Each structure stands twice: as C-alpha cells, then as structure tokens.
Structure 1
Amino acid sequence: MKTTPSIPLMVILMMFPQIVETLYSPALPHIAAGFDVPLALAGQTLSIYFLAFAFGVVCWGILCDHLGRRRTMLLGLGLYGIAAFAALWAPSFQWLLAMRALSAFGAAVGSVVTQTMLRDSFDGTALAKVFAYMGMGIAISPVVGMLSGGLLTSLGGYPAVFFTLSLMAVLLYAVCLLRLPETRPATMQPLPLWALAKRLATDGNIWHNALLVAGFNVLLFSYYLQGPFVFQRLGLSTQAFGYSGIALAIGTLVGSAINKTLLQRGASQPRLLRLASLLALVGAVGVYLSETHLGFLLPMVLIVAAFGIAIPNILSQALVEYRDQAGAAGALFGLLYYLLIALGLAMVSLAEQLGGPLLITSLLLSLAIGRKQFVEMVR
C-alpha cells in the first residue's frame, strides 16, 4: 500500500531551502565588511547560491527516480549540513563562496524531492490544494528567515547565522530519518534521460511555466538581495531589515487567503495568474516611486501576495504530462527555472537598486501571461 507523506513535514522540507537562504540575507553587509569585499560582490553569493541550487535540483531529481525519495532526501540534507558547518570556519571569501555553492547543491533536495513525493501521492484537485499549502510555506519561509537572520546577525554577526544553519540541518536530518516514508511507485521504470530532456526542450508550456516561476521568484528574492542595502542607505539597521519581514508576512497571509478562497470557488489558473501579475505590477510601480523612504514596504506587500497566488498554481500544473518520470522531469524543469533565477538575480545585483528591477520583471511577467492567454483564447 502506498504511504502518504506527512503534509506538515512536506511543508517544512519545501520551506527549508528558502529559510536557509533568507536567513543568510541580513548578514550580507556583515559578510562584506568581515571579508573586506565590495557590497556588490557579497551580493553575488545569492546568484551563486541559485546557480549551484539549479544543478542540485538536477542531481537529486534524477537520483530519486533511481535510489528512492527517502534515501535521496537524506543524502542531500547530509551534504548540506557538512557544507554549512564548513562555511562557519571559512578562512577566506573564496572558501565561503565554495561552501555556499555546496550547501545550495545539498539544499536543493528539499525542493525537487518534496515536489516529486507530492506528485507521487496526489493528483488533480487534491494536488492543487496540497500545493496551495506548499505555496503558503514557500511565501512564509523568507519571512521566517529574515526575522531570524536579522536577530542572529545583530547578536553574533554572520558566524551566528552559519552556526544556526548547521544546527537546522542536523535537526531536519534527524526528523526525516525517523519520519520520512518512501513514496516512489514500485512499478516505476525511468525512461532514458536524453529522451525526456528532448521532450521537455520542445514543450512550449514547460518554457512558459519556467519563465513564470523564475520571474515571480526574482521579484521576491530581489528584496532579499537588495533590501539590506536599501535599509543601509536609509540609515536603518540589519535588525530593522529583519523586522520588515512582518510586513511581508501580511502579504503572505493576504495572498494565501485570496488563493485559497478563489480555488474553493473554482477559479481557473489563467484567472489566478492574471490577478497575480496585476498585483505584482502595481506593487513594483509603488516600490519604484517610494524606494527613498520606508513606505516602499507597503507596495512590497502586494508583490509577496502575488508570489503566494502564482507559484502554487504554476507548480501544480507544470508537469501534469510527466507523471511517469516525476523526479527526472522535475529535476530538468527545476534546472531550467533556477538557471533563469540565477541569471535574473545576477542582473539585479548589478543594478544596485530595487524598484527598477522589480518594475522590469513585473512588466515581462504581465506580457508573458497576457500573450499566452491571448493565444489560447483565439485558437
């Protein structure tokens, strides 16, 4: 009989990669000062994280089709823990970059294997509802990370952050060792990876969904990349940046409530994506116009709400045609959108501002969603 995984544990595993990254975000100015590197270079650690994360998604997604979901999850969490602990003793900025890349590679297991386990265990409307819970977790996790990271940085600088990351890895590994079931179908027969990759590469829907996932993530993570420096320019502390997560938590709750209500009323994915793109665009315009004072947090709430609406609806539908190879398909799909996220964040780090990148990204998302839905309407 197929074992259904615990939904709370699945939510925690989905939250894990974003918590560990955004917990690190408030420490960026301290890292720049501690290793005597420019702020822009310290910010590049975020794009490096996503680049390594993308290749981790491929590795763990393919392995979980061959080794099983549980064993792969434990391997990835173990690797993350080793890298996080090694970062605590980094003698140079180059060593820190290497350990950040390795930890990102390991943390990717929380994203791709968790999604694969959910696709093993649920389908149709049930899967959409489960992904709605995952979306709530994904949207809340950066808030948890920011608040914790701001407090830890103010108490013990970036070493306190790295120690906490190591401890989290140990605790989560122990919980999974005791509680995580195996969900891989017993009759599963993975097809050749090259054939699957070719099929995905020629699937227009895959490219469209990858662009949407990447775009909404760039909107969200631009804040965690540029936010500490915006607060610094406003003369505010790192801890204040961490507390700004409270405002984003409001956006998370609003977005989750809207998404849940509209799903219960039978709202379609196109309608929900149109709503998300509108909220993101209005929020981006607001941030662009108000970045020179703390009021920019109010329109950021709209962007977080848009993320909470869009991401679960995109992820729950993106791979419905690839259930026969859920792990490998999820890996290649994840590689595509994480590479796009890494590219987007690298460009954001060069901009050294927040409003401009948000405005450009939200406009591109609106155009992509509008064009796709117009094409489907006239067919």
Structure 2
Amino acid sequence: MSFSILLILGALSAFGPMAIDFYLPSLPALATAFGTDAEHVQLSLSAYFAGLAFGQLLYGPLADRFGRRPPLLLGVVIFTLASLACAYAPSLEWLIGARFVQALGGCAGMVIARAVVRDLCDPVAAAKAFSQLMLVMGLAPILAPLGGGLLLDSFGWQSIFLCLTLFSALAGAAIAAHLPETIPSGPRPPLRGALKEYRRLFGDRSFLCYGLTGGVAIAGMFAYIAGSPFVFIQLYGVAPEHYGWVFGSNAAGFILMAQVNARLLRYRGPSFWLRRAVWVYFAAGLALLAVTLLRPQHLWPLLLPLFACISCLGFLMPNASACAMAGQGRHAGSASALMGSLQFTVAAAASALVGVLHDGTALPMALVITLCGGCAALLGWYTGQLGERAV
C-alpha cells in the first residue's frame, strides 16, 4: 500500500475522532451559550455516536455495490454541509440534529477505509496497516483538542465547526485526485441482498466476538471522551486551552502502542496479542476505579491508569478489526459497516451512561471504563475458545 493511499485512509479514519475531539474543549462554553447544563450538552456527543452507528449500515452495501469512491465522496459532501449547519446552530436542538447528520457523512470514511485495507491486504498485513493508520489518526486526539482550545479562546466555538468544514473539503479534494477504486473486479452484490448479508454476519460468531471485543474497548475510550472535559476542566481546574495537552498525552500512548503492535505482529498473529491486551486493559480499568474511589485532590493519580487504559487501545483496535475482517472478501464493505455500527452503538450507550450517572465526581467515567474493560476481557476469552481463524 502506497504512502499517499495510507495518508488518505488515515484522514478518512480521523473524520470521526476529529469531529469529536476538536469540539471537546467547547462543551462547557456550549452549555453557557445555550443556557443549559453539561448533561444536555453531552447529548450532542451521544447524537454523533448514534449517527455513526446508524450511518455505517448504509455505506457498507453501497460500497460493495457501487465501489468505494462514489459513496465516499457523498459522505464527505454531507459532512461538509452539516459542519456548516453546526457552526450556525441557533439552538442546542439544532446543534444536536446537525451533529447527527454530520456523523452520517463522517462515517463513510470510517467504513470505506477499513474496506480499502481489506481490498489491498491479507489479514496480517491488514493488522499492520491498521496499526499504521493508528499513527495517522492518532494525531487527531493530540492536535484536535489543542487546536479546539485555541480556536475557542480566540474566535469562539463556531470557529471549531468552520475548521471541520475546511478539513472535510480538503479531504474530499484528495480523495477525488489520488484515491483509486480498490474493489475487486467481477460481479458485485445487489443492494437488495444487504439484509441477507447482515443476517449472515450476525450468524458468524467469530466476526461478532472480535468486532464486539474492539467495540466495548472503544466504548471505554468514548466514556473517557464524554467524561474528561468535566473531570479535567471543571473538577480539577484545567484551563480549556490546556485541556488538549492532557488529552493528547494519553493519545500519544495510544499511538506508541499501535506501533509496538505492528512490530510484534512479525512474531505472532493479531488474535494472539488481542487476547492478552484485553486483560491489561481490564486491570488498568480496575486501577482507575480504585484511584477514583479515593477521590484524590490532584489530577495526576487519575492520569496514570487513564494513560494505561488508552494506550492498550493501540493493541485492541487494529487487532480486533483485522480479526473481524479476515475472510470477508468481496463483502468487506458490509462487514466493515456492521462492525463499525455495533462498535459505535456500544460507544453511544457508554457516553450516554456517563451523562446519566453524572454526580459531580470522576466516578461515572471510571466506572463505565472499567465495565467496558471487563466486557472486553470476557469477549477476548471467548474468542480464544472459538479458535483462531487463520489470523
């Protein structure tokens, strides 16, 4: 896979994280601007997760039937227009609706990027490619909150969504100019067979377990995303413009572990490393919960287990994706769509649960992360009982 294609796929994979992380520092400001509280503003985050979960189911069959490029360009156009609508939202209800539509556009890149990797790579090479994509898309959680905090401080929250508009327009131009069609030649599945294909995938226990293993781990990350603005900014007094530095340090661990994972894949397959990483993730979650229950006066005791949790995702996300996509062949678009939809359905529930449990402490965030880690460990154990699928 060429570097230019890898870079474009990284940008496509970053659409979701960019649209989330970029506006995180603005959540307290949005609550003030619309005269509401943190719990209601977090609905705009949950709406985005719900849009990602639903929209991916649409793009998978489209990508398998019409190729990767046309639905991808359609999604970029939708994301661009919805970002403009967010920038000029007159009310919180408008913003929540526009965020849902924005997610419907942004999830095209996430689905089709995975399908393109499957088109071009075997399972082990796919795991390596996904690890390399983590390096590209991992810059988003580092740079986006920093940029979002600076824009918020200088130009207000609207400028954040205007920058997302520009980013998506540039990504669309790169796709049109440099991303070739990668779907294998030959007959393509009709759209009317989409439901049948999804039923087949639901019957594939290995696909479901690997997909959900990555999904509940990702849900823990989104519980962190939903809870960290309140915990860092309001509970521990981190300035909004400095929030990105704290957030980015955890993302740096995620990037580092993804690259370590790519090196380790030379020795053992992705399922081997996945089943071991889930237990480390669960242990880090338990440590986070224990520290939170002590209610430390300073932030740093929380940051250590948080760093371990987020770093583990550098192993979990690429390996779970590669294992789930193995053997899907011509139906890679539908498999990618269903996997992403399942993952973000769980993520939407996790982020909403953090808001529902909000009690003025860091406990809701820590509790949800730990629950997600426990579920990931159980699923990882169960995939080991199923046996490896040539990965």
User: Is TM-score (shorter-chain normalized) higher than 0.5?
Assistant: yes
Secondary structure of the structure 2 residue equivalent to 1:354? helix
Q: Could you tell me which amino acid in structure 2 is paired with residue 358 of structure 1?
A: I
Distance in 2, matches of 1:270 and 1:123, equals: 14
In structure 2, do the counterparts of structure 1 residues 329 and 281 end up closer, same or farther at CA, with 3 Å as the change threshold?
Answer: closer
Name the counterpart of 2:348.
342
Please state how far the C-alpha of 1:103 moved relative to its aligned partner: 0.4
Name the counterpart of 2:64.
65
Gaps of 5+ in 1: none
Q: How does 1:222-261 map to 2 (within 5 A)?
A: 222-231=223-232, 232-261=234-263
Contact 1:19/1:144, CA 8 A, preserved across alignment:
no
Q: How does 1:99-114 map to 2 (within 5 A)?
A: 99-114=98-113
Distance in 2, matches of 1:63 and 1:43, equals: 31
Please state how far the C-alpha of 1:199 moved relative to its aligned partner: 0.8
Q: How does 1:287-306 map to 2 (within 5 A)?
A: 287-291=288-292, 292=296, 293-295=298-300, 296-306=302-312
Q: Could you tell me which amino acid in structure 1 is paired with residue 312 of structure 2?
A: A
How many residues are matched? 375
Name the counterpart of 1:94.
93
Contact 1:55/1:105, CA 8 A, preserved across alignment:
yes
Q: Deviation digits for residues 111-137 of structure 1, max 9, x if unmatched?
A: 001111121122233222212212333
Name the counterpart of 1:316.
322
Distance in 2, matches of 1:230 and 1:58, equals: 33
Distance in 2, matches of 1:297 and 1:3, equals: 37
Please state how far the C-alpha of 1:90 moved relative to its aligned partner: 0.7
Q: Could you tell me which amino acid in structure 2 is paired with residue 233 of structure 1?
A: L
| 2:360 pairs with 1:360 | no
Distance in 2, matches of 1:9 and 1:305, equals: 24
Secondary structure of the structure 1 residue equivalent to 2:89? coil
Name the counterpart of 2:275.
274
TM-score by length of structure 2 reads 0.90
Secondary structure of the structure 1 residue equivalent to 2:157? helix
Name the counterpart of 1:216.
217
Contact 1:188/1:324, CA 8 A, preserved across alignment:
no
Q: Deviation digits for residues 199-241 of structure 1, max 9, x if unmatched?
A: 1121112221232122111121222111010021112222222
Please state how far the C-alpha of 1:139 moved relative to its aligned partner: 3.6
Please state how far the C-alpha of 1:3 moved relative to its aligned partner: 10
Q: How does 1:1-379 map to 2 (within 5 A)?
A: 6-190=5-189, 192-231=193-232, 232-264=234-266, 266-291=267-292, 292=296, 293-295=298-300, 296-352=302-358, 353-374=364-385, 376=387
Please state how far the C-alpha of 1:187 moved relative to its aligned partner: 0.6
In structure 2, do the counterparts of structure 1 residues 219 and 138 end up closer, same or farther at CA, with 3 Å as the change threshold?
Answer: farther
Q: CA RMSD in A?
A: 2.1
Percent identical residues = 27
Deviates more, 1:45-54 or 1:63-72: 63-72
Distance in 2, matches of 1:317 and 1:273, equals: 9
Q: Deviation digits for residues 54-91 of structure 1, max 9, x if unmatched?
A: 12211222212222211211110011000001111111
Gaps of 5+ in 2: 359-363
TM-score by length of structure 1 reads 0.92
Contact 1:200/1:206, CA 8 A, preserved across alignment:
yes
